[in-house]
Chains A and B, each alone.
Chain A
Amino acid sequence: MVTAGASTSRDATGEALLQVDDLHVEYAGPHGAVRAVDGVSFAIRPGEVVGLAGESGSGKSTIAQAILRILQPPAIITGGRVHFNGRDVLEMSDRELEDFRWEEVSMVFQSAMNSLNPVTTIGDQIVDAILAHERISRKTATGRARELLNIVGIEEGRINDYPHQLSGGMRQRAVIAIALALNPPLMIMDEPTTALDVVVQKEIMSQIAELKERLGFSILFITHDISLLVEISDTIAIMYAGQIVEMAAARTLFERPLHPYTQGLMSSFPALTGERKRLTGIPGSPPNLIHPPSGCRFHPRCPHRFKPCDSVVPPFTEVEPDHWVACHLHTWQGER
């Protein structure tokens, strides 16, 4: 896969916290294997926020699960490497994985606020998470839990509340507190605010940004909402049908998207200001991943397709410094 090229440049910096190389994940099914993730490479540096954007079925959540090795059959990692601080995650034993998860990488899911244990107080749930990994007294751990609730903006006094006593936004804050409990250098957030109302979403996003500044962890932020990503990310990778089709600094991607899919995504959001102009969205639907389209996977929906698009896979290429795109429009050398 040509995408490996992306990681080569990142290797050169030699400081990646998480390094994903040519990752492949398949779901075995009765009608053939679904290639949910097909040759994905990217890196996250300490303190960096990398956004992964894509529609349902683009493989973004599968990547998160593959990094944490929590994929359930029929999903299997069929190729590639995942390195964290130089250690090979795909080679880790179950014992090593126990420490890796939560201590080094924690995760906040979309539905996490509903995954809290309903019969245990939120304080105890944070304390349990700490005690499962650290040999400290329950009293010390409770002190830490209070501190964590403060950090995420929940009044300490609610430490003995049960999940049902908290609103959706507060429950999601509690989940973030649990994810922070062991002070991991990387947090994976998969649609952490999608189930919440916009006002609460804004509060949580501001909170996450503030915590990141204060504590300095890295984030892999996964969402379908590209406008949310532009606000919080340093780097954004756009996924389509199991592959990264464009990757660049958030500003660059927002102001100068090069891939027609990214351009289509950007023109799928009605604006709050400016002229009320007609939007087109993207015609068609995301493809079937059992038999993905030949050549560029986006070609059946692409308004700019030309000769090579339905037969030649476009290479993922750095067309300008730190701006990678897989599209013949920007790389094709042959006849047009």
Chain B
Amino acid sequence: MQTGEQAKTPLGQLDTDEIVMDVRHLTKRFPVGGLFSQSKVHALDDVSFTLPRGKIVTLVGESGSGKSTTARVLARLIQPTSGQILYNGRDIVREEPRKASLQYRSEVQMVFQDPFGSLNPAHPIRYSLERPLKIHKKARSRGEISDRIDELLTTVGLEPPGEVAAKFPYQLSGGQRQRVAFARALAVDPKVMLADEPVSMLDVSIRIGVLNLMERLSKERGISFLYITHDIASARYIGDQTNVMYAGRMVESAESVELIDEPAHPYTKLLLSAVPNPKAGLKVNELTARGEIPSLLDPPPGCPFAPRCPFAMPVCRETMPGISVIGPQHWVRCHLFPQPAESGG
């Protein structure tokens, strides 16, 4: 780890708020190939951001950009290759190197994309909610458990709770199942929720309901959300801060509305130009770049977006740009902007 001299970099910190999670220089490489192969997939490369209390921080990017890997590393489902996760100031990877403590696992909850695969089909909803309550000792007597389940289901908008608790997952719609997944995560009083594409498998008419639920939970309960999505418009809708990821790197971070109104990175601009816009109509060949995310296997040096970037300069293929701060909560990694003096790339 080379965090020493870089730790001071102002990585889009919302300094007025209480920082619950401070992620620094997170890197994850997966070795591939045979025993003697040196090849590695660079899934995450030097990813840093902060998660303030009660805020929704969004990671936006295409498939393969490292969004889900970030969430899985934070949930301690996979081990980072290097970097720090400071949870309430504690370096959690160092303190709990092999396996996260029960406390961490209850305070940092994950909600997955697929509400069809994440609930046990053989048991009623009540069972899925009872288990975390018992395992994490959040309720003891039968009456207490039953009251908590009612309260949880009501919180996520599933009423009447008694009736819903008795149902099996197949009797619920996708949106209702996703709400159960949120109720289950809430059962253990989490401080942080990692929501990995929580609405992308749901029908459009019920997506907004789930997004509104997340916003309500962040405001009313002070839960910090890491909201992972490929839908940049939804990031604008509920996100406080939005981070754009590309090929395992974080390339831009800004307050959500500012990011969309004043995007700085050419990739952010590309993403925005690709969003269907009925008001404008479909224009042929208006994209500023073509192609797809490059292979993450032993990537060449330099900016990963350079091969697709219409503004690429020779320097872009040689060194990774450093972080240029261009606003109070806005930074970008791109050679088009003045490079920070201390950055070595």
- Residues of A whose CB lies within 8 Å of any CB of B are 55-56, 167-169, 197-203, 205-206, 209-210, 224-228, 230-232, 254, 264-265, 267-273, 276, 278-283, 285-286
Contact = CB atoms under 8 A, between A and B. Distances in A.
State the 10 A-B residue pairs at the shortest beta-carbon distance, nearest first: A281-B208, A270-B237, A230-B278, A231-B282, A282-B205, A285-B173, A197-B62, A202-B274, A55-B203, A227-B276
A202 B267 CA distance: 14
A232 B272 contact: no
B281 interface: yes
Given A199-B270, A202-B273, A203-B287, A225 B204 contact: yes
A206 B285 contact: yes
A270 B236 contact: yes
Contact of A203 (B175, B176, B209, B290): B290
Contacts of B282: 205-206, 209, 231-232
A279 B290 contact: no
Nearest to A279: B208
Contacts of A269: 204, 233
Contacts of A202: 273-274, 276, 287
A254 B278 CA distance: 8
Given A197-B292, A201-B274, A281-B209, A206 B233 contact: no
B281 to A, nearest CB: 6
Interface string B281-309: 11111110110110000000000000000
Residue among A200, A206, A210, A281 with most chain B CB within 10 A: A281
B204 A268 contact: yes
Interface string B221-242: 0000000001111101100000
Interface of B: 62-63, 173-176, 203-209, 211-212, 230-234, 236-237, 257, 260, 270-279, 281-287, 289-290, 292-293
Contact of A281 (B205, B273, B274, B277): B205
A285 B62 contact: no
A56 B62 contact: no
Given A200-B292, A276-B237, A283 B209 contact: yes
Contacts of A226: 204, 278
Contacts of B292: 167-169, 197, 199-200
A209 B284 contact: yes
Contacts of A231: 276-278, 281-282
Given A197-B63, A202-B274, A272-B275, 17 more contacts: A56-B174, A198-B232, A198-B275, A201-B274, A202-B276, A202-B287, A205-B276, A209-B284, A210-B285, A268-B207, A268-B208, A270-B233, A271-B233, A276-B257, A279-B208, A281-B205, A282-B206
Contacts of B174: 56
Contacts of B231: 270
Contacts of B63: 197
B232 A272 contact: yes
A282 B62 CA distance: 27
Nearest to A287: B173
A272 B233 contact: yes
A268 B205 contact: yes
A203 B237 CA distance: 25
Contacts of A201: 274
26 contacts: A55-B203, A167-B292, A197-B62, A197-B63, A197-B230, A198-B230, A199-B270, A199-B271, A205-B276, A206-B284, A225-B204, A225-B276, A227-B278, A230-B281, A231-B277, A265-B205, A267-B208, A270-B208, A270-B231, A270-B236, A272-B233, A272-B275, A273-B260, A281-B206, A285-B176, A286-B203
Contacts of A232: 282
B284 A198 contact: no
A226 B283 CA distance: 17
B62 A280 contact: no
A152 B208 CA distance: 36
Nearest to A210: B284
A226 B204 CA distance: 9
Residue among A203, A225, A254, A264 with most chain B CB within 10 A: A203
A225 B284 CA distance: 19
A270 B234 contact: yes
A231 B173 CA distance: 30
B173 to A, nearest CB: 4
A270 B281 CA distance: 17
B204 A285 contact: no
A270 B210 CA distance: 13
A265 B204 contact: yes
B277 A276 contact: no
Contacts of A281: 204-209, 212
Contacts of B173: 285-286
A200 B270 CA distance: 11
Contacts of A271: 233, 236
A168 B63 CA distance: 11
Contacts of A276: 236-237, 257
A272 B236 contact: yes
Given A199-B271, A272-B232, A56 B284 contact: no
A283 B260 CA distance: 29
Nearest to B278: A230
B242 to A, nearest CB: 12
A283 to B, nearest CB: 7
B276 A55 contact: no
A209 B236 CA distance: 29
A155 to B, nearest CB: 12
A104 to B, nearest CB: 26
Nearest to B65: A197
B334 to A, nearest CB: 17
Given A199-B62, A231-B282, A272 B277 contact: yes
Nearest to B204: A268
A111 B123 CA distance: 32
A197 B234 CA distance: 15
A278 B282 CA distance: 27
B181 to A, nearest CB: 16
A224 B203 contact: yes
Residue among A55, A201, A264 with most chain B CB within 10 A: A55
Contacts of B233: 269-272
Nearest to B61: A197
